[in-house]
Amino acid sequence: MDALATAPDEVRELHRLAMRDVGAMFALAPGFHAWIEPDAAFLVSGEPVIDLNMLLIGPTPRASAVLEAAHETAKARGLPFVAYVAPAAADAVAPTATRLGLASAGAAPMMVFRADGPLPLGKPCDVVRAADPAEAAAVGDLVSAAFGLDRASTARTLDTAIHPTSSVDVYIAKMNGAPLSTVTVTRAGDTAGVWCMATPLAHQGKGAGRALLTRVMEAQRQAGVRRFYLFASPAGQPLYESIGFRTLAECPVWAFAPDGAPAH
């Protein structure tokens, strides 16, 4: 693990920011439901797609009780969910998750980029901030294709969050006029969260993801952002490390899917 991983206060701070940011992304979904505590949040889009219902458990003494409550809510609604757990809560959550039938899904590195270092831009591309229905549909197509998500569910959850006055900024990379990659950015003061970095397999290997992310980050730096954070997938981690992100904490991930509920 990176030497940065000695900052529990920063981990707690970023978990709290993530709670706010995921809520902003899901808030306009027709089935949206949320309950939030100081160090935990269950943010439910209402869609039967595991990646669109998220439990975030920070360093709270109520970690086990929070998981119990989320499980009860999800089971009653027949919804799957994914849980991201801060390292400080890992030992409390693990036995409860196992007892409730959740599956361990490894760990998601919480990664941070300090904006005072160099940021080499990727290859040239056109970067567009999505705002109109056509651009929202292009984003939904890219995310669904990249992660294998049901398109109707992403339309009701992610597409609806894209409009001119949205509190989240969604960007598309285009090369020769074709949308190839997308990323969502949330901002609180001088910190920005990076979400839904999606490049479908058919478009990978063309440098679109790097080109998009580095250009968006540079624009955010020019606007005053000094720190970026994200939760990395195994597929995305090498890209983020090559850009300069470093692991702050390894967050255990647990997944719940009720009987008959699709995982994607």
Tens of pLDDT, residues 228-240: 999 999 889 999 9
Question: CA angle, 184 as apex, 226 and 6 as ends, to 5°?
Answer: 45
Backbone angles phi, psi at 199, to 5 degrees: -130, 110
Indicate the fold that domain 8-109+250-256 takes in CATH: Aminopeptidase (3.40.630)
Local structure of residue 159 (DSSP, 8 states): G
Q: What is the mean pLDDT of the chain?
A: 92
- The per-residue pLDDT for 6 is 47
The mean per-residue pLDDT over the stretch 71-76 comes to 96
- The per-residue pLDDT for 15 is 95
* Distance between start and end Cα atoms, the chain: 30
The per-residue pLDDT for range 16-59, each reduced to its tens digit, is 999 999 999 999 999 999 999 999 999 999 999 999 999 999 99
Checking if the pLDDT of 262 tops 70, the result is no
The mean per-residue pLDDT over the stretch 146-161 comes to 95
Q: Which residue has the tokens 């990664």?
A: 111
* CATH 3.40.630.30 placement within the chain: 126-248
Local structure of residue 219 (DSSP, 8 states): H
Cα separation, 158 vs 133, whole angstroms = 12
179 within 8 A of 144, measured Cβ to Cβ: no
- The per-residue pLDDT for 167 is 86
- The per-residue pLDDT for 7 is 67
Q: Which CATH class is domain 126-248?
A: alpha beta
3-state secondary structure 231-263: ECCCCCHHHHHHHCCEEEEEEEEEEECCCCCCC
The mean per-residue pLDDT over the stretch 86-115 comes to 96
The mean per-residue pLDDT over the stretch 209-218 comes to 95
- The per-residue pLDDT for 165 is 86
